[in-house]
Amino acid sequence: MIKKGINSQKTILLITFMVCLAGAGLLFAQAPGLVIKDIKKGTGKEAFNGSNVTVHYTGWLTTGKKFDSSKDRGKPFSFDLGSGQVIRGWDKGVQGMKEGGVRKLTIPPELGYGSKGAGADIPPNSTLIFEVELLKVY
């Protein structure tokens, strides 16, 4: 009976800790190595797997070199969340965002472009940093 009480207390402490991390925007995603930091919490509709979403984004290498930006082009980007249309770090990192929200995603190579890289701008095994603004969830 004492053991059951201790386990219940540990569970409550763990849940409390996770709620605090989530509230501070410091909760790590379920994907290993993916780090999510909420810059601005949205107040609109929430994105989940199967949602069609429209975002503005800017991507940098860890060196600080910008390699892409929908904002610079003035054209938002739309995709179906969780369908594999984008790198896995985006599929995992955009989940749970609400319209109007802005997130910083630090994406390890395994959830980005891996050992192949992408064109001349993203070398193999690159960790990617994205700032993503969720404009619309359909």
* 87 classed as catalytic: yes
Residue 6 has pLDDT above 70, yes or no: no
Write out pLDDT tens, residues 76-99: 999 999 999 999 999 999 999 999
User: pLDDT by residue (tens digit) across 46-86?
Assistant: 999 999 999 999 999 999 999 999 999 999 999 999 999 99
67 catalytic residue (yes or no): yes
Closest CA to 32 of 111, 97, 117: 111
Which listed residue (36, 107, 113, 122) is catalytic?
113
CA distances from 2 to 9, 11, 123 (A): 11, 14, 55
**Using one digit for the tens of pLDDT, what is the confidence trace for 8-38?**
555 444 444 444 444 444 454 468 999 999 9
Domain ranges across the chain: 35-137
Q: Catalytic: 39? A: no
Stated pTM of the model: 0.79
Give me the architecture of the 35-137 domain, per CATH: Roll (3.10)
Q: One of 36, 38, 68, 122 is an active-site residue; which one?
A: 68
CA distance 97 to 99: 7
